[in-house]
Amino acid sequence: MIEIQLQRLPHGEGLPIPGYATEGAAGLDVVAAEDRTLHPGERHAVATGFSIAIPEGYEVQVRPRSGLALKHGITCLNTPGTIDHDYRGEVKVILANLGSEAFEVRRGERIAQLVPAVVTKAHFSEVIELSETSRGAGGFGSTGR
């Protein structure tokens, strides 16, 4: 369990802060801070009404809710969205309507879930040749359907 500081913004007044819907939930549900109609094919960075400070060594992933995806075709376009630990702007959820009907985003309704994750840092070192493997350059279905 890590602590993530949250600063409420004026338009987030009165909204619940992200929380787990059940004891075993992996993601903290986050609610919209604005009303917005999303027409089919449309996308919008939905306000959440808060900024956060994530401890160094962690990120927060923004993931869709499966119910909205299945019932309404609503997803996070950039899933999983990445909140960097040094980001202090408003957290936004980039929703896209892949369904065939308009969807009403309503203030206070849960639109996505936040999953904190450990960040493994790496640096790339340029080499002349890579080690050989049985897969080699095969990919994109090379092992069969």
Ligand X SMILES: O=c1ccn([C@H]2C[C@H](O)[C@@H](COP(=O)(O)OP(=O)(O)OP(=O)(O)O)O2)c(=O)[nH]1
Which parts of this chain interact with ligand X (CB under 6 A)?
62, 78, 81-84, 87, 91-92, 94
CB 132, min distance to ligand X, A? 34
Q: 97 labelled as ligand-binding?
A: no
CB 91 within 8 A of CB 52: yes
CB 64, min distance to ligand X, A? 11
Closer residue to ligand X in complex, CB, 83/111: 83
Closer residue to ligand X in complex, CB, 122/128: 122
Closer residue to ligand X in complex, CB, 84/109: 84
Q: 65 labelled as ligand-binding?
A: yes
The conformation of residue 120, written as its DSSP 8-state character, comes to P
Q: 84 labelled as ligand-binding?
A: yes
CB 61, min distance to ligand X, A? 9
Question: What is the per-residue burial (b if ≥16 Cβ within 10 Å, else e) of 67-96?
Answer: ebeeebbbbbeeebbebeeeeeebbbbbbb
Q: Which of 54, 52, 9, 53 is nearest to 33 (CA)?
A: 9
Calpha distance 18→118 (Å, rounded):
19
Closer residue to ligand X in complex, CB, 93/103: 93
Count of CB atoms within 10 A of residue 6's CB?
Answer: 15
In the complex, residue closest to ligand X by CB? 81
